A and B are shown apart, each in its own frame.
Chain A
Amino acid sequence: MEETIRLVLAEHGRLAMDPTSIDENTDLFDAGMTSHASVNVMLALEEAFDFEFPETMLKKSTFESIAAIRAGVLEVTGG
């Protein structure tokens, strides 16, 4: 799962650093991800894992780090 998240970030996150090697707790917004880029990340994650984020999870903290994204995906998919 983490590899997929990193690939999604590489394609859509618009980060100033390489998402394949950053720490899982690095703040992605501090790393350059814009609000609009986070929309693309959200849509790409939904596509990759075949689910839809509920509105209650549409908050900045859901997408603020790789660890947070992983937790969010697991919460929604029940993994």
Chain B
Amino acid sequence: MSQLPSAVSQSIPAVHGMPGELSEALLWYSDGHGPWEPSSSLRVGIDLVLVEDVAGSVERFGQRYVDRIFTDHEVVYCRGDDSTSPASYLQRLAARFAAKEAMVKILRPVGARPAWRDIEVRSEAGGWTGVRLSGLAADLADEAGIEQVAVSLTHEEPMAAALVVGVCRNQESPDPSVPTDRRTTKDRRTTKDRREE
């Protein structure tokens, strides 16, 4: 295995926190002309929900709970058809709630957080799922340079879970000390914006 120039190998743990021969080799082959500058990075969020918690909310608050959290598309999918059992309906809702929370984890809001309906789990033909963002969720994703999002859901009584992965283009992060809902245009500038100034 090729040895990394010391300047490169020293930069890797600081960038990714993955010291070790394997990670260094992968980074070495991805570039070859250090110091390695990543053009993108990943954010990962995961969440776990008790299905009985969602069932309790539906029972206690009824449609008000459902309408506050889930979009029409999500509700229609979760209700399914005549063959969909009440248990499946609740499991699907719980998995989508987990997906919304997992998505918030990669959006990393400071202060105001997106409304739950701003994060919609899209159920595509073939059984795949995707995420559609709107409102503050879309603003935060844009601010973070999140260009692609993948989501995977699972449910098996008594739990439902979701994993969300976001691919971010490399850019300067906004000042994390400024609350999400108080950031100005200046705070939202990307690296590209700064270069063009």
Contacts and interface: CB of A to CB of B under 8 A. Distances in A.
A53 B84 CA distance: 33
A43 B109 contact: no
Interface residues of A, number: 15
A59 B104 CA distance: 11
Q: Is the interface of A mostly helix, strand, loop or mixed?
A: helix
B109 A59 contact: yes
B16 interface: no
Interface in A48-63: 55-56, 58-61
Contact of A36 (B64, B97, B113): B97
B101 interface: yes
A4 interface: no
A35 B181 CA distance: 20
Interface string A20-64: 000000000000001111011001100100000001101111000
Contact of B111 (A40, A43, A59): A59
Interface residues of B, number: 25
Contact of A61 (B56, B64, B68, B111): B111
B86 to A, nearest CB: 19
Nearest to A34: B53
A43 B115 contact: no
Interface in B71-110: 97, 101, 109
Q: Is the interface of B mostly helix, strand, loop or mixed?
A: helix
Contacts of A61: 111
Given A56-B112, A56-B181, A40 B49 contact: no
A66 to B, nearest CB: 20
A59 B113 contact: yes
Nearest to A12: B60
B29 interface: no
B49 A55 contact: no
Contacts of B60: 40
B168 interface: no
B112 A36 contact: no
A56 B116 CA distance: 12
Interface of B: 47, 49-50, 53-54, 56-57, 60-61, 64-65, 68-69, 97, 101, 109, 111-116, 135-136, 181
17 contacts: A35-B101, A36-B49, A36-B101, A37-B53, A39-B57, A39-B65, A39-B68, A39-B116, A40-B61, A43-B61, A44-B61, A47-B61, A56-B112, A58-B113, A58-B116, A59-B111, A59-B112
Given A36-B53, A43-B61, A61-B111, 4 more contacts: A39-B57, A39-B116, A40-B65, A58-B112
